[in-house]
Amino acid sequence: MRGRVLATDRPLVMGVVNVTPDSFSDGGRYLDADAAIRHAGALLAEGADVLDVGAESTRPQGATPVSAQEELRRLAPVVRGILDAHPDAVVSVDTVKADVAEAMLAAGAHIVNDVSALRLDARMAPVVATAGAGLLLMHSRGGVADMGTYLHADYPDGVVDAVLHELGAQLDVARHAGVARECLVVDPGIGFAKRPEDSLRMLATLTDLAMPKNLKMLIRIQEWSSSYHARPCRADVGCAW
């Protein structure tokens, strides 16, 4: 993807850089661009394989969508600063907006992490395909303001079948737009439009999601999901490739 190859013979770790004032885990701590760039450097030093930079919170309660202009104002200096300071870094941009993705890919980002799996912006797949970028498709329902809640957590036929069906449809959208298969990664969306029992069911049947299409998978288990585990997880190392 964009001249970078990520070997998947081992799990890869994605370090999270939230450039938001209201993130559920560390909102405001890295809103300053210099602080965010230093944090990114620390994550790389600790072994992160990919850096995921986001500027719009999807926290479980009270998430407020922001404009593309505001998202870019927050993201641009951080993405450019990371790439200037760490030119070998692989940078992912967490956004549901094609305009934001397009601008950040032009600035040098390698991956788009779309937590709506292409549902919220029809231009996203063509933008990613044109750039030859990686694409993470996370299962969710609803918009930015409510995808982290239980508002849409209704799975009468079972959560696994629903996620398979809904993510499968979005994978078809990505492939039809020209996104290369080797650039696609799926994410079951643990904690997004899912009750704890739904998330646990997904964790117990991960191969059902990945194996039918032999896909790579991302699992994000962050601090607010720690109720699923015996001990809390670090908020800034939220994903494993």
Query: Tens digits of per-residue pLDDT, 167-221?
Result: 999 999 999 999 999 999 999 999 999 999 999 999 998 877 665 566 788 887 6
Superfamily of domain 13-240: Dihydropteroate synthase-like (3.20.20.20)
The predicted pLDDT at position 7 comes to 79
226 pLDDT band (50/70/90 cuts)?
very low
Q: Which residues of 129-151 are buried (b: 16+ CB within 10 A; e: fewer)?
A: bebebbbbbbbbbbbbebbbbee
Q: List pLDDT tens digits, range 107-142.
A: 999 999 999 999 999 999 999 999 999 999 999 999
The predicted pLDDT at position 39 comes to 95
Neighbours of 88 (CB within 10 A): 7
Q: List pLDDT tens digits, range 207-217.
A: 776 655 667 88
